[in-house]
Amino acid sequence: MADLQQSYRGGSVCVNPAGLDCNYFVDKGANGNEVLQFKLAFAEGQPMAYITTDFWANYAQIWLEPMYFLVTAWNDQAPKANRLRDANGNLTGPIFSIGPQSAFYSPFWRVFYVEVPPGTAPTKYTSARQLFDDHLVMHQGPNRFASIGPSDLSLPSAADIVVPTVAPTVGNYLKNGIDDLAAVVASSQSLTGWLDGASVDYVDFGTDNFDVDATGAIEDVPLFLFKQYDADGGLKLAGAPNVGGVAPLFSHLPGRITINPNGQPRPQFGALWRLHIVTLPPAAKEFFDQDEMLVEQNGGDPAVYRAKIKRVALDGGCFTSITATADPCVWLDSQRAIEDNLGEKAIARTDLQPACPFVMWNGLPVPNQ
């Protein structure tokens, strides 16, 4: 995150692995502070949104690393029940085993709960080495996504998710409307922990939201970025929202999704993506607000058309034939739609791997857990 922040501060000479605009990952928030960016995308034909925290270029593999939470007694039915607290009753932060300065760093962690005696001072253990030097008992827990970053780079607030009447963003695609914005924001948390004896800030997206193979390597899924040839023959970014895949390319497998007791879906994949460039045919077009106004002349509920804004159609000539009851368009808003309608030759795998945890899936906030 610190590198992405520095890229933003570089202005016209910014550098980031994807060669995107300086403010693509970090920008000024509503209060003038620097914030990570919410990004609207589509997956499985439905709206989703994510935040990019880390980015790799030309890495052979990204690995799971250990992080540690201190507990004063072990309870295998409720591992977090006895977390160590300070004198004010606040939970002590986790201990990270490796930091962003290392080429082996990643925000993908295997949690271990470490038993310490009741009454242990909250600052007694602040490094992984201390835990092993004292031969403390450890218990493996769930995998967790947590990205270490600078203290002056924040998660976006609800005020940073602009909800204009034109060019809708995340809030417009929430199934329960903008009332769910607070829950989207709560999908991630700004917290503090320890690394090699020093306090560090990190953003936490919860547990079990990525796939790991038997060797501890993180498994990626495709994230599709649209490009299209312009009038001068140059291949340029189309500017449309990305499309998230759910499984290896052309595997036709479903993605793993769990539903919590409140009915909220939680994808267990996609925190690590493999960027794939999709070359659109000349007739493909993104559905814009002006297209909405055009097709509304055919009658019907404007909400029918608003849900299509920002999606890419295989042939934009279909827009004028959309009505309240008929939609002849082929929308490229899922992995299967891109694979089936464009084929292998239009899809180019890259060596770029962004970490983009979900904050919204299928129009619903993704719960932090």
pLDDT at 128: 97
Helical spans, DSSP H, in 26-160: 128-133
Question: Confidence class of residue 75 from pLDDT cuts 50, 70 and 90?
Answer: very high
| Mean pLDDT, the chain, integer | 90
pLDDT at 167: 46
Read off the pLDDT of each residue in 98-110 and give the average, rounded to a whole number: 95
Do 54 and 1 touch, CB atoms closer than 8 A? yes
Report how far residue 15's alpha carbon sits from residue 12's, in angstroms, rounded to the nearest whole number: 9
pLDDT at 161: 78
Read off the pLDDT of each residue in 111-135 and give the average, rounded to a whole number: 97
Higher-confidence position of 338 and 166: 338
Domain presence at residue 178: no
Question: Confidence class of residue 217 from pLDDT cuts 50, 70 and 90?
Answer: very high
Give φ, ψ of 171 to 5 degrees. -60, -35
Domain presence at residue 239: yes
Give φ, ψ of 321 to 5 degrees. -100, 0
Record the pTM. Answer: 0.92
The amino acid at 40: L
Q: Which domain holds residue 281?
A: 222-358
Domain presence at residue 208: no
Report how far residue 287's alpha carbon sits from residue 299's, in angstroms, rounded to the nearest whole number: 17
Question: Confidence class of residue 162 from pLDDT cuts 50, 70 and 90?
Answer: low
Read off the pLDDT of each residue in 124-133 and give the average, rounded to a whole number: 98
Q: Which percentage of the chain shows pLDDT scores above 90?
A: 70
Read off the pLDDT of each residue in 48-63 and give the average, rounded to a whole number: 94
pLDDT at 291: 63
Domain presence at residue 59: no
Domain presence at residue 73: no
Domain presence at residue 29: no
pLDDT at 174: 82
Q: 347: which 2 tokens?
A: 């899809």
Number of domains in the chain: 1
Q: How many residues does the chain have?
A: 369
Quick: pLDDT tens for 266-288.
Answer: 898 889 999 999 999 999 999 88
Q: Which percentage of the chain shows pLDDT scores above 70?
A: 93
pLDDT surpassing 80 at residue 324: no
Higher-confidence position of 277 and 38: 277
pLDDT surpassing 70 at residue 296: no
Helix (H) or strand (E) holding 182: helix 181-185
pLDDT at 289: 67
pLDDT surpassing 50 at residue 166: no
Read off the pLDDT of each residue in 328-337 and give the average, rounded to a whole number: 96
Higher-confidence position of 57 and 11: 57
Read off the pLDDT of each residue in 216-232 and give the average, rounded to a whole number: 95
- Weakest-pLDDT range from 26-30, 64-68, 156-160, 276-280: 156-160
Q: What is the CA radius of gyration of the chain?
A: 22
Domain presence at residue 288: yes
Domain presence at residue 334: yes
